[in-house]
A = this chain, B = another copy of it.
Amino acid sequence: MEADLRRVLLDTARRLLVREGYSRLSMRKIASEAGYSATSLYLHFANKDDLIHTLVEEGMERLFEQLSAARAQATGAPDQLAALCRAYLDFAVANAEYYEIMFMQRSDELARFPTEKYRKARRNLELFRDTIAEGQGSGAFQPGVPFVQATSIWSFLHGTVALHLAGRIDARIDRDALFASVVTLAVSGLRTTSHLEPNAPLS
């Protein structure tokens, strides 16, 4: 056996995913691209879902690194939260194919993300939650349940990128301007002293 064929197959799958998109990613293609027969994949992964879930897990880690780095470069909860939002949106457009398998999989198409890998996915949300809690502690944010508020912000961010990636956002709306407005809106919704400015510059 290859030194670590599992690793090779994952790398091949990732490369194919990024190059051709999820819908054109098949077990047979991964295998032939790696120079093996299709059934070899089943010696290292239970099934396609298992393979994809491993890629998702890797994506969650990469997202966590980028989110952490973004937050570390900002100071103060509001700025840190804004940095997290921007990093999330940036990750989604820079890794669209990754984002699709990570967050845009309908549950009946792909088996539920396994619990043992769920921890890594949750860390990303906790980054938001902790920042919000910190802001509440310093009095910069309104009171509330940080976990719920983090979920709300996440929903907002996800909705924006999901519609964007699906090509559903009207072409007249500039992407970067919309993203910037979304970040402002998301953060200002939590602030004690509202910093909402009319979003006239958009479109």
**Which A positions have Cβ atoms within 8 angstroms of B?**
21-24, 100, 103-109, 112, 125, 142-145, 147-149, 151-152, 154-160, 162-163, 165-170, 172-173, 178, 181-182, 185, 188-189, 194, 196, 198-200, 202-203
Contacts and interface: CB of A to CB of B under 8 A. Distances in A.
A106 B23 contact: yes
A22 B105 CA distance: 12
A170 B147 contact: yes
Contact of A145 (B104, B145, B152, B200): B200
13 contacts: A22-B108, A23-B109, A103-B163, A107-B165, A145-B203, A148-B173, A148-B202, A152-B178, A154-B159, A155-B156, A185-B189, A188-B189, A189-B189
A23 B103 CA distance: 17
A103 B178 CA distance: 19
Contacts of A143: 198, 200
Contact of A151 (B21, B166, B173, B188): B173
Interface centre among A157, A165, A182, A185 (most CB of B within 10 A): A185
Contacts of A158: 159, 162-163
A182 B23 contact: no
A39 B145 CA distance: 55
A167 B107 contact: yes
Q: Which 9 residue pairs are nearest across A and B when measured between Cβ atoms? A: A159-B159, A155-B159, A158-B159, A155-B160, A107-B167, A148-B202, A23-B109, A143-B198, A21-B108
